Amino acid sequence: MKTNKQKVKKVSRGINSGLVIFGCFIAAICFFKFVCGDPANFVDGNTKGTPINSNIFGTIYKGGFIIPIVLTLLLTVLTLSLERFFAMRRARGKKNLVQFVHEVKLKLEDNDIDGARVLCDAQKGSVATILNAGLLRYEDVEKVENLNNDEKSAIIQKEIEEATALELPTLEQNLPIIATISSLGTLFGLLGTVLGMIRSFGALAAEGAVDSLALSTGISEALVNTACGIATGASAIIFYNYFAQKVQNVTNAVDEVGFAVGQTYSKKHIG
């Protein structure tokens, strides 16, 4: 049968995560080397010495080579989270999502399919795109005479499911990376902590007088890596849960309006 079905367009295209990670790595290296490693942050300009008055940048520099890796993970989380924030705003559409779903359901209860489509065109976003695809199919199946109502209703539901399958991956894009970093950040921080403690115990085990510089360097390395690792892991967990809930809200809205479309068709064609 001929239909007026139109291709569903994804509204929330994400950025390439590989490029983001590479860019964040370069930024982390530059920050670590040129900002944190600036001789002005250390006593007598000696980067192997003690930071001036617990200078924050100098202290971070004392964390060692693990710090740029942890910073890369932290910057990646922040960048991808910012990208997901704008992607979710585009996916939500112009109006409040709950209000939009409510208005569409009222139109559907009145069998006003054209009115529901007008709301979708004005709303835009993922839910509106998915619903619009279902409404287009709704108009198509009404013109078909060799199918019963249950078969037509199933076709409409299948159209909504296919549109949803196209849209949801774009909403979840980059979230697995943020989830992975929630563990990696903590693990790399722990690795840096262990390496710092090894250096500290090495200073204590040295023959003769304790090497106070090596001891303080090892302790600084351990504490800085611990702090950065925890900050990275915590940030990743917070942002992941926040955006996962946003995706769930969109999914719930799609399920709700999809059910409303099916109910509308059944009521209109009962008997």
Percent of the chain exceeding pLDDT 70 equals 88
Averaged pLDDT score across all residues of the chain: 84
Contact between 236 and 78 (Cβ < 8 Å):
no
Main-chain phi, psi angles of 210, to 5 degrees = -70, 135
Whether residue 159 has pLDDT greater than 90? no
Across 81-90, 229-238, 246-255, least confident range: 246-255
User: Which alpha helices (H) appear in the chain, and where do they start and end?
Assistant: 17-30, 56-61, 66-92, 97-109, 113-123, 125-142, 149-172, 175-205, 212-268
Over residues 77-105, the pLDDT tens digits come to: 999 999 999 988 888 888 888 888 888 88
Contact between 5 and 119 (Cβ < 8 Å):
no
Across 6-10, 124-128, 221-225, 244-248, least confident range: 6-10
Whether residue 59 has pLDDT greater than 70? yes
Q: Single out the residue of 164, 175, 186, 187 nearest to residue 232, CA to CA.
A: 186
Mean pLDDT of 259-268: 74
Whether residue 46 has pLDDT greater than 50? yes
CA 93, CA 126: separation in Å to the nearest integer?
Answer: 7
Instruction: Please indicate, yes or no, whether the overall pTM of this predicted structure exceeds 0.85.
Output: no
Whether residue 3 has pLDDT greater than 60? no
What residues contact 255, with CB distance under 8 A and at least 6 apart? none
Contact between 253 and 99 (Cβ < 8 Å):
no
Classified as helix, coil or strand, 147 is coil
210 pLDDT tier (thresholds 50, 70, 90): low
Contact between 8 and 167 (Cβ < 8 Å):
yes
Tokens 């489509």 sit on residue: 117
Over residues 99-144, the pLDDT tens digits come to: 888 888 888 778 788 888 888 888 888 888 888 888 888 878 877 7
Mean pLDDT of 174-194: 94
Mean pLDDT of 14-34: 92
Whether residue 206 has pLDDT greater than 70? no
